[in-house]
Structure 1
């Protein structure tokens, strides 16, 4: 019954999405489900990163707990997506609302994993999803963990020639020196580091389009009082995600 249902789903999907989408088979569907599960687990970890940074806690300890009453979570409450649905988005002890961002991060990362079609896209996927965590941190605190910047540099430059890798390290060092002496620059040092990482692995035209999209979105949607800083990482992340999806799903090779 299940194989027949999967085959029927594959036929319907193939009719709705003609080539360049590949024809779905039972094996492909199984692989997509497995990728979704892996991605949702990764998204659950990134949600923890965001929550722990917001509350100034380590990502290693204490054990997972309710942010309101600090009750430790049981094993079944740690299952991505399913646990949120089982508890209906509330702590089972104090009934405080669980941030929906956790649920959305798990689903979003799971869906994004399903569009990774070859090994060359893995680094881009990891980069974009890490930036999603950075965006959540930046939105709440106007900061994000420094290790995300260094991991982004690694993901952006691992495939480059040695001179470009050294250039990437030099750029990071210059950014840190610049903000050490002039900490009140209009652009945050984390924003500058992400700009450098993206530009290191993309062409000038692609980087310009990405930055222009982020700036335009910020100008249109950001509401703030004069001289009040805004969280720019969410716009950089949204633009990077948009252009990645465009190149992966829309643009036909």
Structure 2
């Protein structure tokens, strides 16, 4: 029963993160204002806001205008449910738990809008710094992020900021492995695409991090 409750709590957080992803780029209030359909602007009832179940029942469409609801919303809620559950089972420590939540949010931002929500990252960064005071080396990623903002380093400043937060959950050697794995995944994805355009890199960093988490369980 506790596991089911924790999973449901996780899906609620996932739903809230989805709200942040929808409203943050537009400047719309995250705290105030009722939830509404982004297409027809109709106010949503409680039955439209139940994590996972509402989207399954509606078949991922608005019940007013029938516009499609992104499947990433369902994925975010489902994934957050499992992340909360894994943390409850002690399969994730606190740094890994926080990093996975942040990575999900940033990955969807990167996939949808090719943008980096600095304000969202900053909240998590403050939590990491407050809970896990660290030595100097991880802060080198912040210096590289500043350089990437002004010079073409072929990697975005947001990617370096993600690596800064990852340094609280990983050793420097693990981060090097992570970057190599993410780069290989990104290269494969780039050549498989028909359009050779800029690719979002944070999703590949996230996948590589999951691979590092799972590797000790498999090997």
TM-score w.r.t. length of structure 2: 0.84
Q: Answer yes or no: is the 8 Å Cα contact 1:157–1:168 preserved in 2.
A: no
> Within the alignment, does 1:70 sit opposite 2:41 as a pair?
yes
For each residue in 1:24-57, what CA deviation from the matched residue of structure 2 results, as whole angstroms up to 9, or x when unmatched?
Answer: xxxxxx1211110111111111222222246564
**Partner in structure 1 of residue 20 of structure 2:** 49
CA RMSD of aligned residues (A): 2.7
Length, aligned pairs only: 216
Distance 1:66 1:204, change over 3 A: same
Q: Which has the larger radius of gyration?
A: 1
Match of 2:188 among 211, 220, 238: 220
Summarize deviations over 1:72-130 as a string: whole Å, max 9, x none: 11122111111112322211111111111111211121122221134972332122122
Gaps of 5+ in 2: none
> 2:201: which partner in 1?
232
Alpha-carbon separation, structure 2, partners of 1:61 and 1:183: 38
Q: CA deviation at 1:176?
A: 5.3
Aligned residue among 148, 154, 175 for 1:186:
154
What is the distance in 1 between the residues matched to 2:123 and 2:209?
Answer: 16
Is the Cα contact below 8 Å between 2:52 and 2:78 reproduced in 1?
yes
Shift of 1:234: 0.8
Gaps of 5+ in 1: 1-29
Residues 1:103 and 2:74 aligned together: yes
Q: Which residue of 2 aligns with 1:202?
A: 170
Q: Cα–Cα, structure 1 residues 187 and 54, in superposed 2: closer, same or farther, change >3 Å?
A: same
- In structure 2, the partner of 1:89 is 60
Distance 2:163 2:203 in 1: 13
Alpha carbons 2:144, 2:157 under 8 Å: kept = yes
Aligned match of 1:126: 98
TM-score, normalised to structure 1's length?
Answer: 0.74
Q: Distance in 1 between matches of 2:113 and 2:176?
A: 27
| Alpha-carbon distance between aligned partners in 2 of 1:191 and 1:157, rounded to the nearest angstrom | 18
